[in-house]
Structure 1
Amino acid sequence: MNANNSIEVDELHKPYFVWFEENWIHDDVLHQHQKGQLVYVESGFQYITIEEKIYLLPQNHAVWIPPNTIHKTNSHSEKINLMIMFAEVDRKNSFYHEVNVFSVPPVLKEMIKYVEKWSKLLSKDADETIFLRALFNELPHFVEHSLKLHICLPKDKRLTKVIEHLHHDYHKEIRIEDLGETALLSTRTLERIFKKETGLTLSKYQQMLRIIKSLELLSAGNLTISETAYEVGYKSVQAYTRSFQAVMQFRPTDFVKNIK
């Protein structure tokens, strides 16, 4: 991952490396690291593509990216502050082989803020090593209730225009018949291929897009929950709240409280 200046993380001879940037600038290029990577969004919101799945990191959320995992970052936020921690981890622990997106609890948030003092330190530091070893040792416990908030990008080229249509017009009523015509497929064939490629039905995929977009809007802080609901295509706040709770397992009001 590159920012305003380039640091080759894998060439550093230290088990941990901390990198904090205000107003992070992204290169949007697929890459990987030998070390695992914890990305925390202090402010703004962040999209990360990890092995052909798009994840959203709202403010006060983090993602664990396993070692050697191909990924890239991109953001629609005008300004984003990121804290990134690279770590050599216990490869026998299955937790470190999985992607996890999660809301950062207060204790972990304070620990992350504390490690900012070691940002971009290239030399080994005993105190840094001890502290970060403790942080990563506890990380599996911090993410026990992590979200699987992502959408898959299909590989089948027949779905390319369908995905473009869904991503552009997610807030509108979408007819499966129209999507079938776009893909030159029968509705039954389209539904079968789409479910196989993404793991979701077309309606569930649109729901996920709406909720993810709403998280982005709520994180920006410019719209109320009611305004956000209508912006992403819901006809009532009640319908939006039910959909949000079905996906997130908590209410929009809980999310807004968490990001403040």
Structure 2
Amino acid sequence: MNSKYYLTEVDKVPESIYCYHDLMGETFIEPHIHEKGQFLYTEGGVVHIKTNNRTYYLPARHYMWIPPGIKHAIYPSSPKVIMRNLYFPLTERASIFYKKEGIYPVNNLVMELLLFTKNWNGDIIKSQETKYAIVNAFKALLEQTVPQSLHLELPQPTDRRLIHIIDYLTNHIHQEHLLPELASKFSMTDKSLYRLFKKDLGMSFISYYTQLRVFKSLEYLMNPDYTISEIANMLGYSSLPTFSNTFSKIMGKRPSDYRKSNEIYLVS
């Protein structure tokens, strides 16, 4: 993968719509900014997008819209991840949809147009009438066909104590963590840790921890070698029904149904 294309090529022709499709491999894309809005679609795994204050979990068969001027870094969860990108110039009159970050499922109509572009790379300009008409229609369809943005993101901690605690939770995701035990481990009282989560992240410990586990499960579910029961254990759940019900509340479908709907089908 040419990991520098996004720094040197995307904005080189300001009026162009820029296409880039590739296998991510293990590539980490360092923090950067575009003058164009970015449509980022992924399949084959979960992609983490980190902005200044949030971490987004972009699952397979979904896309993220990243507005112009938003600094972001991209981390693939697997060497099998394929990213498909379209970058669009925007005017001041662009609708609110194109000015806010969001993650959305890909519907069939958007998917069909994306199929047209999968072998295109580089600038598409107005003189390329057929290609330009397709990608321009693609952009217009995004705001016309999307439901509400999915809340597949977690706030970034700013307090140093909380940064260490969340690193610990992430690195020990296979264990179950209760607030009293976690507070004791980091020499805090239950109340002080509870308040720290609410103050720094705007959410309770249990809400953060529950979402962290479910978002981590999205990566495990892409690996067919793991059963749903094994994944529940890998996330510290002692009960498969508890994991399945929690997943359903956040993702809107059961883990088994999510797994079935996420096979790769846009091959390079």
User: For residues 231 and 176 of structure 2, what CA distance do their matches in structure 1 show?
Assistant: 17
Secondary structure class of the residue paired with 2:119: helix
CA distance, structure 2, for counterparts of residue 81 and residue 173 of structure 1: 32
Deviation at 1:8, TM superposition (A): 2.5
Q: Structure 1 residues 136, 122: closer, same or farther in 2, change over 3 A? A: closer
Tell me if the contact between 2:64 and 2:101 (Cα under 8 Å) persists in the aligned partners: yes
1:185 aligns with 2:198: no
- C-alpha distance in 1, partners of 2:24/2:71? 23
Aligned residue identity for 1:22: L
| Aligned residue runs from structure 1 range 1-260, under 5 A | 3=3, 7-24=8-25, 26-92=27-93, 93-121=95-123, 125-260=128-263
CA distance in 2, matches of 1:91, 1:253: 43
> Displacement of 1:2 after TM fit?
6.0
How far is 1:4 from its partner?
Answer: 6.5
Give CA-to-partner distance per residue, 1:201-246, whole Å, 9 cap, x none: 1112111111011111112333222222222121222111110111
Q: Which whole-Å deviations, capped at 9, do the CAs of 1:72-117 have from their partners, x for residues lacking one?
A: 0011202221110000135441111111112211221121121123
Q: Alignment partner of 2:48: what SS?
A: strand
CA–CA separation in structure 2 for the residues paired with 1:243 and 1:231: 15
Gaps of 5+ in 2: 264-268
Larger displacement relative to structure 2 (203-212 or 190-199): 190-199
**Is contact 2:48-2:55 (8 Å) kept?**
yes
Provide the identity percentage. 28
* Amino acid aligned to 1:3: S
Secondary structure in structure 2 of the residue aligned to 1:11: coil
Per-residue CA deviation, residues 103-156 of structure 1 (Å, 9 max, x unaligned), is 211221121121123212466522222111111111023321431111111111
Q: Are the aligned partners of 1:20 and 1:81 in contact in 2 as well (CA < 8 Å)?
A: yes
Q: Alpha carbon RMSD of aligned pairs, Å?
A: 2.2
Deviates more, 1:89-98 or 1:57-66: 89-98
User: Which runs of structure 1 show a deviation greater than 6 angstroms over 4 or more consecutive aligned residues?
Assistant: none
Cα distance in 2 for residues equivalent to 1:151 and 1:2? 29
Contact 1:170 1:206 in 2 (8 A): no
Structure 1 CA distance for aligned equivalents of residues 25 and 119 of structure 2: 18
What stretches of structure 1 of length at least 5 have no aligned partner? Answer: none
CA distance in 2: counterparts of 1:259 and 1:123, whole angstroms: 33
- Secondary structure of 1:29's counterpart equals strand
Once residues 229 and 91 of structure 1 are traced to their aligned partners in structure 2, the CA distance between those partners, rounded to angstroms, is 46
Letter of the aligned partner of 2:131 in structure 1? E
* Structure 2 CA distance for partners of 1:221 and 1:244, relative to 1, 3 Å: same
Which one-letter code corresponds to 2:68 in the other structure? P
Q: 1:228 & 1:91 partners in 2: Cα distance? A: 46
The CA distance in 2 between the partners of 1:136 and 1:97, in whole Å, is 13
- How far, CA to CA, are the matches of 1:109 and 1:201 in structure 2? 37
Closer/same/farther in 2, CA of residues 52 and 26 from structure 1, 3 Å limit:
farther
Evaluate the alpha carbon distance shift between residue 95 and residue 76 of structure 1 in structure 2; reply closer, same or farther with a 3 A threshold. same
Q: Distance in 1 between matches of 2:122 and 2:74?
A: 19
* Separation of aligned partners in 2, 1:25 and 1:9: 21
Amino acid at match of 2:96: S
Contact 1:34 1:68 in 2 (8 A): yes
